[in-house]
Every structure is written in structure tokens, then in C-alpha cells.
Chain A
Amino acid sequence: MAAAAQEKIFTTKIETEEKIEPKDWMPDAYRKTNLRQISQHAHSEIVGMLPEGNWITRAPSLKRKAILLAKVQDEAGHGLYLYSAAETLGMSRDEMINSLHEGKAKYSSIFNYPTLTWADMGAIGWLVDGAAILNQVMLCRTSYGPYARAMVRICKEESFHQRQGFEILWVLSNGNAEQKAMCQDAINRWWWPSLMMFGPTDSESTNSDQSMKWKIKRKSNDELRQQFVDMCVEQVKVLGMQLPDEKIKWNEKRKHYDFGEIDWNEFWNVVKGNGPCNKERLAARRKAHEEGQWVREAAMAFAAKRNTKKTAA
């Protein structure tokens, strides 16, 4: 079939909300956009294990330890589902991981911020996971089948993540003065980076347009960000805490909350590698991979031996 005819079939599928599956014809650019987005998403899950993993051994109660451990483990699972989805597009997990380790692939900048206190576990759950969930719920309807299916599974599992985060903050906000201060401090530090998670404003986002046309993305960065702000403004009241933005104000005309300007200078700096923990995060991932090399090799060597034995027998 001629390429033009193939493309027409593809476009019709997108228009009629039929999913694109791995063996279907797709434009190279669609494949590449999906690969980039899914692999970045996978990297974010894996790198995202580190800031929270930082507190597993120090969790303040056995219950919290179990919850945090299960949550960070879920993130490993989510990274795995996403790598699998990306692999259906024709790139192996090893290649994706290599490009992460070589500093060529991006991941969500939020994970380049440090987790300084226990309250950060709460703030990450509430704000970071909250922001991620908005994005992920949207992605359950993304046009590439394996990506959409991975997101459905992830959303199901994620539902406890944000709740446990809010619960941590809720307990702190009802605790002693030191705990309350810890809670407010964590919200102060994580609020702006969470807003940055939605990416550049629509006017500056280079990937957005085509992604929307292909229904890879279904909502714009600014749309999602606004949804997030509206949600958090209400929730923070429950905690009796403040969002660190004096410009937050209900706009009757827009029926949304207005909010202050994001420090895009900081955003681009962290993206470019100058965040507080960029180096540490990549170094930790590289170290784990390099120190695991002998383990992965040994497992393959053993599998080969076992196979030979079987064949010989």
C-alpha cells in the first residue's frame, strides 16, 4: 500500500478515536514523539524513586515505612510498564536507559529537588503525585494503545499515592508547632516546582501542537496547570496551610483562580542540569546500573548453561 494511503488510514483512526497499535502503520514522527514522551515518562518514574527512597530507612513509624516502601516500589513498576510500552515502538529498554545515563534523555525536573524533611513525603504525594495524576488521567485516553493501557494500570495503582501524601500532611498539620512548621515549609518548597511540572506555557511549548493533533496529549499544559491550581487552593484550606503565592485569587470572570508568575528562569536551569540534585540523581542511577552489570551478566551466563544442559540431555 502506498504511503499516502497508509497515512490516510492512520489519520482516520486518530479522528475516529480508534487506538493505534504497535504493528499499525504510523508516521515516523508519531513514533518518535511517542517514544520520546513514553521513555521520558518511564525515566521520571525511575528517577522519581530516589527522592522518596531517601526517606524509606528513616520513616517515622512502621506503618509509614510500609506505605512508603510500597509506594516507591509502585514507581518501579510504573517505570517498567512504561518502558514496556515504549519497547513496542522499536527501542529496547537498554537503549533508553543508556540515553538516560548518558544525559541525553530527559525526565521530570521535579525529581531534581531534594527531600529535606519527612514532610516532603507528604508534599510529594499531595502536590507532585497530584500534578502527575492530572496528566496521567488525560493520558489514559492517549491515541497509542500500549501507552493508554499502561496509563490505565498506573492510574489504578496511583490512586493511593496522592491520598497517602495528603494524609501525611494532614497529620502534621494537626501536630505540634514543629510539625506544622515542617508541613508549611515542605509546601513552600514543592509548590512552585509542582506547577513547573506541567511544562512551559502553551505559547512556548514546541511539542504541544502536533501532540494534540495526534491525540497523544489531550489537554494543553496551561489547561492542566489551571486545573491543578484550582484543586490545590481548595485542598490547602483543609490543611490550614498556605500556598506560597500572594497572587492566588478567585477570578469570577474566568471561573478560575489567578496565580503568580512561574520563575521560568529556574525552570530552564533545572531542565538544563543545574537543579539542586541533577548530578546526584543521575549518578545514583548510573551506579545502580553499573553495579548491577555483573548480576545481569551472570544471570544470562547461567541461563545459557541451563539451556545447553537441557539440549544435551
Chain B
Amino acid sequence: MNTSLVKYILHLGDTTLILAQQNSKWCGHGPVLEQDIALTNISLDLLGQARNFYQYAAELMNENEKSTKDFIQSLGMQTDEKITEDILAYHRKERFFFNLLLTEQPNGDWGQTILRQFLYSRFQYYLYEKLQEHPDTQIAAIAAKSIKETTYHLRWSSEWVIRLGDGTAESHERMQNAIDNLWPYTGEMFLPADFEADVKIDFSGLKNKWLDAVTSIVKQATLSLPENENKVYMHTGGKEGRHTEHLGYILTELQYMQMAFPGANW
């Protein structure tokens, strides 16, 4: 088994799972019914993507080889049970989650949730565009299926960024705060982790494209990026399992049932 590849798949799955989990907290609490429904659709899409990645990772991890067992153990999981999407989501602790730090940041207000979605969707779109050509056909297939969803998330969140940035004085200020809060978590997206060494992606090219596109929307929204946006201190570690304090709580909630009732079926 190619452990880098599996770790990469977990990274993709974790990122979409955590964002889905965060967005899902809005269900029933949105600013207006129509948007409550819209964000829940996005949450469902992301959850579906996570499941696709996990199911594929599980398939690879069920090979009966010593190295595979060692790998499973290195992620803090039991080797005597069959790996499933739920084992991967519910039985891994925070140091073995590889999601982007951006996705675990708090929902904050509607503006911050929108901006988080936009920054990620813009990145996800460019990334999955490349992943569609990934030599691993399964990854390529998941990326191809997901990118249609991402295209809509991007359209929806871009419009909201513009609408709120160029709305009222209050909404403008809230969006500007959201940018300042979240920007330090964007750098990590373009710093390849060890397991990304084989992923043939030009990260600096990706970053330039992303930055151009983000800048253009931010400008239309009459907002501004932090001064010297390239020099802002960027937090890293998500891809290596070193997270912000938020993830622990997110997982506590997410994994509660499986932790409280080990081995039960639901």
C-alpha cells in the first residue's frame, strides 16, 4: 500500500468532512430560510465528498499486509477491525486528522462562514481541476464528480462575499474582520506536506491563480486583503495533524456516539 497516497486521500476527506460538520451547525439557525437550505446543500455535498474519499481509503487500507497494519496503527487505530468510512471518521483522534486548519475555524457570524467557504471553494476548485488528471483513477473520478458541486459552492459563496462586502457599513466591517481572522490560515493550502510529494501539482502556480481570483472578488466586494498579504504570518500544521484548539471540540462532538458506545451498529 502506498501510505503517502492513503494519507493524501485522508487529508482530502478530512478537509471536506470538517467543513461539512462546521457548516451543518447552521442548519435550523440560518439568517433566512432560503439560505439555511442553501448552506445545508453545501454541507451535504461536502459530506458526500468526504464519504467518497473515506470509502476509497478504507478499500486501500483493508489489504492484509504487515505494512498496512503498521500504517493503521500509526494512525492510532485498531488493526483487528475492518476499516470503513466510519472507522476513519470516528476512530481517529485529533493528531491523526489531516484537514486544513481553515476548515476547523469557528463559524463566527454568517460573514465568516461565507468567507471560509469562499476561500476554500476557490482553492478546492483549482485543486480538483488538477486532481481530475491524477494518475490514480479513483481520485480523478471523485475529483471530477466533486468539481461540479464545488463550482456551485464557489458561485454561491463568491456572490455572498460581494453582496456582504458591498452591502451596508456593518456587513462591510464584518466581512473585513472575517478576512483578517481567516487569512492566516490560507497559507497552509499551498505548502505541500510530505505525503504530497508525489502529487504532481505546481503549488506555487496554484497559489498565484488562487490569489488572483480571490483578489478580484475581494476587490469587487470593496474589501481589501491584509496589507502585504504575502507577509502575513501563516499558521501551518493541519496536514501533519497539528491543529488549532478548535478541532478537539469538533471531534468530541462528531465522535461522541462511537466513543460512548464502542462497537455498536447504528
Q: Which residues of B contact A69 (CB under 8 A)?
A: 24, 27, 40, 43-44, 47
Q: Which of A19-27, A73-81, A185-193 contacts B (4 or more CB under 8 A)?
A: A73-81
- What string of 1s and 0s marks CB contacts (under 8 Å) between B11-54 and chain A? 00000010001001101111111111100110110011011001
Q: Is B141 an interface residue (CB 8 A)?
A: no
CB nearest neighbor in B for A47 = B28
CB nearest neighbor in A for B266 = A60
B157 to chain A: closest CB distance in Å? 14
- Tell me the chain B residues, 236-266 only, with Cβ under 8 Å from chain A: 253-254, 256-258, 261, 264-266
Q: Is A296 an interface residue (CB 8 A)?
A: yes
The answer to whether B31 touches A73, judged by C-beta atoms less than 8 angstroms apart, is no
Q: Which residues of B contact A62 (CB under 8 A)?
A: 17, 47, 50-51, 54, 85-86, 89
The answer for the CA separation of A80 and B38 in the assembled complex, in Å, is 13
Q: Identify the interface centre among B40, B44, B256: most chain A CB within 10 Å of its CB.
A: B40
Q: Is B190 an interface residue (CB 8 A)?
A: no
Take A76-B28, A76-B40 as given contacts and tell me if A294 and B168 are in contact as well, using a CB distance cutoff of 8 Å: yes
The answer for the CA separation of A61 and B90 in the assembled complex, in Å, is 8
Q: Is A50 an interface residue (CB 8 A)?
A: yes
Q: Which of A102-110, A148-156, A171-179, A264-272 contacts B (4 or more CB under 8 A)?
A: A171-179
CB nearest neighbor in B for A289 = B31
A153 to chain B: closest CB distance in Å? 14
The answer to whether B166 touches A305, judged by C-beta atoms less than 8 angstroms apart, is yes
Q: Which residues of B contact A291 (CB under 8 A)?
A: 31, 109-110
Take A60-B257, A179-B264 as given contacts and tell me if A72 and B29 are in contact as well, using a CB distance cutoff of 8 Å: no
The answer to whether B254 touches A57, judged by C-beta atoms less than 8 angstroms apart, is yes
A224 to chain B: closest CB distance in Å? 27
Q: Is A239 an interface residue (CB 8 A)?
A: no
Q: Is B76 an interface residue (CB 8 A)?
A: no
The answer to whether B27 touches A288, judged by C-beta atoms less than 8 angstroms apart, is no
The answer to whether B264 touches A295, judged by C-beta atoms less than 8 angstroms apart, is no
Q: Is B170 an interface residue (CB 8 A)?
A: yes
Instruction: Say which residue of A56, A61, A298 sits within 8 Å of B167 (CB atoms).
Output: A298
Interface size class of B (residues with CB under 8 A): 35 or more
Q: Which residues of B contact A70 (CB under 8 A)?
A: 44
- What string of 1s and 0s marks CB contacts (under 8 Å) between A162-173 and chain B? 000000100110
The answer for the CA separation of A187 and B62 in the assembled complex, in Å, is 38
Instruction: Say which residue of B35, B47, B253 sits within 8 Å of A66 (CB atoms).
Output: B47
Q: Which residues of B contact A178 (CB under 8 A)?
A: 261, 264
Take A56-B27, A57-B253, A72-B27 as given contacts and tell me if A66 and B44 are in contact as well, using a CB distance cutoff of 8 Å: yes
The answer to whether A61 touches B40, judged by C-beta atoms less than 8 angstroms apart, is no
CB nearest neighbor in B for A50 = B28
The answer for the CA separation of A292 and B48 in the assembled complex, in Å, is 28
The answer for the CA separation of A90 and B117 in the assembled complex, in Å, is 37
- What string of 1s and 0s marks CB contacts (under 8 Å) between B120-153 and chain A? 0000000000000000000000000000000000
The answer to whether B266 touches A295, judged by C-beta atoms less than 8 angstroms apart, is no
CB nearest neighbor in A for B166 = A302
The answer for the CA separation of A56 and B164 in the assembled complex, in Å, is 28
The answer for the CA separation of A73 and B35 in the assembled complex, in Å, is 11
Q: Which residues of A contact B44 (CB under 8 A)?
A: 66, 69-70, 73
Take A49-B28, A50-B28, A295-B164 as given contacts and tell me if A64 and B40 are in contact as well, using a CB distance cutoff of 8 Å: no
Take A46-B33, A50-B28, A302-B166 as given contacts and tell me if A61 and B86 are in contact as well, using a CB distance cutoff of 8 Å: yes
- Tell me the chain B residues, 35-82 only, with Cβ under 8 Å from chain A: 35-37, 40-41, 43-44, 47-48, 50-51, 54
Q: Is A126 an interface residue (CB 8 A)?
A: no
CB nearest neighbor in A for B22 = A57
CB nearest neighbor in B for A284 = B29
Take A58-B254, A301-B167 as given contacts and tell me if A171 and B266 are in contact as well, using a CB distance cutoff of 8 Å: yes
- B: residues with CB less than 8 A from A are 17, 21, 24-25, 27-37, 40-41, 43-44, 47-48, 50-51, 54, 85-86, 89-90, 109-111, 162-164, 166-168, 170-171, 174, 253-254, 256-258, 261, 264-266
Report 13 cross-chain contacts, Cβ distance below 8 Å, ordered by A residue: A56-B24, A57-B254, A58-B254, A60-B264, A62-B54, A73-B36, A76-B36, A77-B37, A83-B33, A118-B266, A292-B30, A298-B163, A298-B168
- A: residues with CB less than 8 A from B are 46, 49-50, 53, 56-66, 69-70, 72-73, 76-77, 79-80, 83, 118, 168, 171-172, 175-176, 178-179, 284, 287-289, 291-299, 301-302, 305
